[in-house]
Structure 1
Amino acid sequence: MGLQNTKHPKAKQAKILMLGLDSAGKSTLLYKFRYNDVFLTIPTIGFNVDMIEIQKDFTLTFWDVGGQEKMRQVWCHFLEDTDGLLYVVDSSDKQRLEESKKEFEFVLKNECLKSVPVMVLANKQDLPGALNAEEITRKFHIKKYCSDRNWYVQPCCASTGEGLSEALQRLTAFAKQHRRSKETSTVFKEIKTL
């Protein structure tokens, strides 16, 4: 998947990091966000990058990083300068929820993600027995681990698109707010050094 140039050279960009276990639906979600269509995907080896122009002056750059065990070992190399974490959970795969929770908690402990807003997508809501947003919030202890930042758990279905427009709107608002706070912080640091 390639990068698409934005038509507006002064457009602001926010980096959104998409993480989650393999087969959670990250690439399918990215294609649905980008093309509003469902594509047959294979497990991501490495990463995909794509830009989605949200408004004429704001673009989200999505980094979809593979979720296989070997790839999770290198997630830390993608965390720097992140404006939003989009963590995807297969809410129907109860056998792997604990593994997903551990990876989520581990990545949130990284200093690079301090204060970075978090959107958890409880994907595959169309499947029988899928946990709802409240259950994911409770099982992942999100209130505990995300108390110092903006966060939201959005139930969704990548194949139908249900819940994705709401997720994209909230993620955009989170990323814009985070960018503004980083820019303000940078200005204050520059003023202090004068």
Structure 2
Amino acid sequence: MGLIFAKLWSLFCNQEHKVIIVGLDNAGKTTILYQFLMNEVVHTSPTIGSNVEEIVVKNTHFLMWDIGGQESLRSSWNTYYSNTEFIILVVDSIDRERLSITKEELYRMLAHEDLRKAAVLIFANKQDMKGCMTAAEISKYLTLSSIKDHPWHIQSCCALTGEGLCQGLEWMTSRIGVR
């Protein structure tokens, strides 16, 4: 009996959870991915297609897909949606002009059948910049309180320093197995 339990436990503990990291170009998606992976800032260039890395947090394996955010690539985001458990939406807290585009993309994703069970973590990135919008301002503008069919959390962060990123990952790990 103990052997069966051990095998079941190892299956549960080593399960991979698919995460897509999306947001407009220059929001900080790739910088966040590599902060998770290496705990350091790496020089990035615009992502064409995607980057994928496995991040392990307290025995929880996240397969993170960082998807390019340029306008020409956004229409292909849905090719990554299958089996996604978590959406990480990275918002550039300085880029007020394009927040409406971020909002359109968020609600388009949430309406997609393949994401109907996905939880959403919003990183309000670039909180170290003067004049940035707060997480509360972004939440209000994106009308996050109207999202009732997806668990969501907004987290202030700074991809360059890593500040706030662990709290976001902790929220994700707390969501596993909740549904």
Normalised by the length of structure 1, the TM-score is 0.83
In structure 1, C-alpha distance between the alignment counterparts of 2:25 and 2:154, rounded to whole Å: 19
Question: In the alignment, which of 121, 124, 138 is matched to residue 122 of structure 1?
Answer: 124
In structure 2, C-alpha distance between the alignment counterparts of 1:138 and 1:123, rounded to whole Å: 16
* Corresponding residue number in structure 2 for 1:65: 67
Question: In the alignment, which of 91, 110, 132 is matched to residue 93 of structure 2?
Answer: 91
Decide which moves more: 107-116 or 66-75.
Answer: 107-116
In structure 2, C-alpha distance between the alignment counterparts of 1:69 and 1:177, rounded to whole Å: 34
Shift of 1:104: 1.1
**Per-residue CA distance 1:10-38 (angstroms, 9 max, x = gap):** 41110011110000000000000111000
Question: In the alignment, which of 27, 32, 35 is matched to residue 29 of structure 1?
Answer: 32
Shift of 1:55: 2.6
Q: Superposition pairs for residues 72-151 of structure 1, below 5 Å?
A: 72-144=74-146, 146-151=147-152
Task: Report how many residues are paired.
Answer: 169
Structure 1 residue 47 and structure 2 residue 50: aligned?
yes
Structure 2 residues without counterparts, runs of 5 or longer: 1-9
Is the partner of 1:143 in helix, strand or coil? helix
In structure 2, C-alpha distance between the alignment counterparts of 1:129 and 1:96, rounded to whole Å: 15
**Per-residue CA distance 1:115-171 (angstroms, 9 max, x = gap):** 311000000001111111111111001111x21121100000000111011011112
Amino acid at match of 1:14: H
In structure 2, C-alpha distance between the alignment counterparts of 1:177 and 1:21, rounded to whole Å: 30
Normalised by the length of structure 2, the TM-score is 0.90
Amino acid at match of 1:93: D
Shift of 1:111: 1.1
Amino acid at match of 2:94: S
Structure 1 residue 164 and structure 2 residue 165: aligned?
yes
In structure 1, C-alpha distance between the alignment counterparts of 2:15 and 2:117, rounded to whole Å: 20
Is the partner of 1:177 in helix, strand or coil? coil
Amino acid at match of 2:48: I
Structure 1 residues without counterparts, runs of 5 or longer: 1-8, 182-194
In structure 1, C-alpha distance between the alignment counterparts of 2:123 and 2:79, rounded to whole Å: 22
Over aligned residue pairs, what C-alpha RMSD do you find?
Answer: 1.5
Is the partner of 2:41 in helix, strand or coil? coil
Amino acid at match of 1:40: H
* Preserved contact between residue 85 and residue 117 of structure 2 (Cα < 8 Å): no
